Amino acid sequence: MDVFFYDGKCPFCTKTANYLQERCLNKNIHFLSFRNLSDKEIQNIHKDLSLELLTGNTQFIFRNTRYPHFFGIRKLFPYLRGYRYFTLFLYLPLVPLFGILFLQILKKITRH
């Protein structure tokens, strides 16, 4: 199962996940708040996941591989209407560094 996990108690995370879900062309990708699942249910989806890991960052489980935060969003981009054409840009040198930094700043601004 392909799952994009987000924090359902965070208004910013919920709004972002809803936005991504509306634009997602792949209907096999599920957007779930980890707050609605038990630790055992999370472990059944992917063995490396835990509540502690999910509390700090979004996680994208795609074809049984875990992609944290920026890398998960980057992996999701090809399936987003209107954004998939920019996917190659996210793989350019230094873009991951700036992407991770940008997401860290967003977390501080939203007090997540």
Q: Which of 103, 42, 30, 95 is nearest to 112 (CA)?
A: 103
Local structure of 38: helix, strand or coil: coil
If you search the block for the tokens 């230094």, which residue do you land on? 94
The pTM of the whole model exceeds 0.85: yes
Given this model, what pLDDT does residue 84 score?
87
Write the DSSP string, 50-99. Answer: -HHHHHHS-EEEETTEEEEHHHHHHHHGGGBTTTGGGGGGGGSTTHHHHH
Beta pairing, strands 2-6 & 59-62: antiparallel
Question: What confidence tier does 112 reach under pLDDT thresholds 50, 70, 90?
Answer: low
Q: pLDDT tens, 30-78? A: 999 999 999 999 999 999 999 889 987 899 999 999 999 999 999 999 9
Tell me the average pLDDT across 11-18: 92
